[in-house]
Each structure stands twice: as C-alpha cells, then as structure tokens.
Amino acid sequence: MVGGGQLARMTHEAGIPLGIRFKLLSASPQDSAALVAGDVVVGDHRDLDTLRAFAKGCDVITFDHEHVPTEHLRVLEAEGIPVRPGPAALVHAQDKGVMRARLTRLGVPCPRHRIVEDPADVRRFAETEAGGFPVVLKTVRGGYDGKGVWIVASAADADRVTEPFLAGVPVLAEEKVDFVRELAANVVRSPHGQAVAYPVVESVQAGGVCDTVIAPAPGLPAETAVAAQEMALTVARELEVTGHLAVELFETADGRVLVNELAMRPHNSGHWTQDGAVTSQFANHVRAVLDLPLGDPRPRAPWTVMANVLGGDFPDMYPAFLHCMARDPQLKIHMYGKDVKPGRKVGHVTTYGDDLADVRERARHAADYLRGIIDE
C-alpha cells in the first residue's frame, strides 16, 4: 500500500487474519501505518524510481491516498504491475474536472459545473449557468478536508477570491448546492466484477472535516437509498474501479441526491463498518484488490455511529482514554498512534445498538471527552 496514514494502518490490520503480507511505502517512519507495519519502505510516492523499487515483489499495489501521479501509475501498469484501482479509474478521484465530465456523460446527477478561467469567467458562470451566486470554486487537484474549496458569495466577491487561480491547476466552478445533509454510498468491486454495497450513511461535517457518520442515514427513504447504492455500483462498474469506492453525496430538500466527489480507497464514511458491519471496508478493500471473493457488507445492528476524535488542546489524551473505557465498556476505540495536534484526526470511536439517540450520544460523548471539550 502506498501512503502511511491511518487508512493504511487499518487496512494492514484487516489483512492480518486473511494471512496477507503487507508492505508499505510511507513518506515518514512516523506515519500512522509505518509505526505498526513490519515491512516499511520510507520514500517519496511522487518519485517513479522509488515506486518501481517498492513495487518489486508485490502482487498488487493499492493506495491510502490519491496523490501518486497518474502518469507514474500508467508506467507501473505498463510494466505489468497490477495497480488497483488502476490509473484509468483513479484519475476520477484525483481530478475533479475529469470526474465531473465523466459522471455527467454517464448521466449521474452532479451540481451544475464547468472549468473557469478567471474571476470574470466565474461571474459569467454564476449569472448565466449556475442560477446566480453563491458558487463554489475548487482546484481540480490537490484538495482534501475542505482545503482547495472556496465559496464565492457575490459578484464583488468573485474579484476578491483569486487564490484558486494561483495554484497552477484548472479551477472548477460549481453551483452551491443547498443541501440538507451529506450522505455517502460506499461500494467495493473486485477485478472479477463482483461488487457489494454498504448501507447509505449520513456524514455530518464540521469545519470542512467529517465529524460523525450515522449508519444507515436516518429517515432516508428506502427507494432513495437503493437508487444511491445502484448509482455507486454503476460508477464502480463503468469506471472499472477495483477496491473500495466512496461516493460522497448531497441530499437536497426536494429529495434529490447529487454526487459531490469520489474516493477510491477506504474512506472516513466507512470506518463504522469496522465494528458495525459483518465485513469492514478495510477487509473488503483487501479482498477486492487481491481479487478474492468479497465479504458480507450488511450491518450487525440497526444503528452504528462513528465519531472522529480530533486533537484538542491537551496533548496527553491518556486520562480521557481511561475515563471513556471505564464509562462505556461497549465503546469501540480506534486510535491512530499520531501525535495530538489541534484539529488533526487522531482516532475515532464507534458504538452500535437498537436506539439511535443512545448510540449517537455515547459516540459523541466519547469523541468530545477525548478531545477535551467536555469533562463530565
């Protein structure tokens, strides 16, 4: 796996009972997965020779992030190394412009959008194509957790928001969708073409970062949920995705579901599956990239809630950790081994059961307590 973050750490963990030998290319020996994996190469994933040397002896290469240059992956593939997902699929998770164009051709509902050249073009897009301001600007590559996304509130604002045009990559403008909530439809597909769909979840964001995930999305009509799952399976099939595909969605007040973006790797909206589904997203990602039969994606309980633990102002989480374990023995805690820095994702908790309000409160309490924003 290329990339040493927490996704690699948890993918490694999921491969152990399957007897999978795991090799890691990590940017630093201190990265979350590098701290626990036995076979770690420290190197730069943007360097082709490093990737080539790393790939020697691997049966398959997969990723914990989207940042390996597409052209390097094409070279590896041309040299006979199985890359999953392959570059032809992965480019849709790397480049939002390519993704929007392809999904639109497939008839998948997306916000109105186009590539814009400069602030004057943003005004034209807003006034003639997007139904007015506000609009959203995104650099097509390099964004994550809300970085690389700007809201342009008005025509006057269009002249002020020049930063995206300085990044040296194309800028995508989108209508600002007036969504009621964000959802995710997560599926896993193998090279054989076998695919499974997890229940559609609600993903609650705070400050551009995923905060809480509720599985399944409360109150989502069954036909909307099934349509979203089918759409995600169609995207996986048409783009020939191998591994886990997260389709991030906006749900609108009139019941429509639009695609925000795609991720082709285990995803934060799927962490709940570690404890809440028969087979986790990590185990199914491993199975898929190795072309093994996939595991059952169904939930184990009526409700599962995942809450991210963000770093707070207290670098020492240990006392809070003890408290949370003692307070709620049913709580599942997943820490990533990362140094605590304010706002950084350092772990997550999950809870599951029959009563959504109770499950949600317990997950929320533990995440807030670990962060240090409550103390009782």
- The contacts of residue 50 (CB under 8 Å, 6+ apart) are 25, 41, 43, 44
252 binds ligand ADP (CB under 6 A): no
**40 or 247: whose CB is closer to ligand ADP?**
247
CB 36 to ligand ADP: min, Å: 26
Q: Which stretch binds ligand ADP (CB under 6 A): 84-92, 172-180, 212-220, 354-362?
A: 172-180
176 binds ligand ADP (CB under 6 A): yes
**176 or 338: whose CB is closer to ligand ADP?**
176
Residues in contact with ligand ADP, shown as a per-residue x/- string from 182 to 221 under the rule CB under 6 A: x----------------------x--x-------------
144 binds ligand ADP (CB under 6 A): yes
CB 173 to ligand ADP: min, Å: 9
- The contacts of residue 316 (CB under 8 Å, 6+ apart) are 340
146 binds ligand ADP (CB under 6 A): yes
260 binds ligand ADP (CB under 6 A): yes
Q: Which amino acid is at 106?
A: L
**Cα separation values, 174 from 91, 135, 151, 178, Å:** 19, 6, 10, 12
**149 or 335: whose CB is closer to ligand ADP?**
149
CB 96 to ligand ADP: min, Å: 7
**Alpha carbon distance, N-terminus to C-terminus of the chain:** 40
Place of tokens 């409160």: 361
Q: Which stretch binds ligand ADP (CB under 6 A): 19-27, 39-47, 63-71, 170-178?
A: 170-178
Element (H, E) at 15: helix 6-15
363 binds ligand ADP (CB under 6 A): no
Helix ranges (DSSP H) in 79-187: 87-94, 96-105, 119-128, 155-160
CB 130 to ligand ADP: min, Å: 9
The pairing of strands 113-116 and 39-42 is: unpaired
Q: Which stretch binds ligand ADP (CB under 6 A): 6-14, 65-73, 147-155, 157-165?
A: 147-155
Between CA 270 and CA 210 the distance in angstroms is 11
Query: Using the rule CB under 6 A, which residue among 98, 149, 333, 335 binds ligand ADP?
Result: 149
Between CA 344 and CA 195 the distance in angstroms is 33
Q: Give bridge partners of residue 299 from the DSSP assignment.
A: 277
CB 53 to ligand ADP: min, Å: 30
Query: Using the rule CB under 6 A, which residue among 41, 58, 177, 335 binds ligand ADP?
Result: 177
Burial status of residue 162 (CB atoms within 10 A of its CB: 0-12, 13-18, 19 or more): exposed
CA atoms within a 13 Å half-sphere pointing along the CA-CB vector of 32: 24
Between CA 176 and CA 153 the distance in angstroms is 9
**52 or 344: whose CB is closer to ligand ADP?**
344
141 binds ligand ADP (CB under 6 A): no
* Coil vs helix vs strand at 181: strand
98 binds ligand ADP (CB under 6 A): no
Number of chain positions touching ligand ADP (CB under 6 A)? 19
**Rule CB under 6 A: which residues touch ligand ADP?**
111, 136, 138, 143-149, 174, 176-177, 182, 205, 208, 248, 260-261
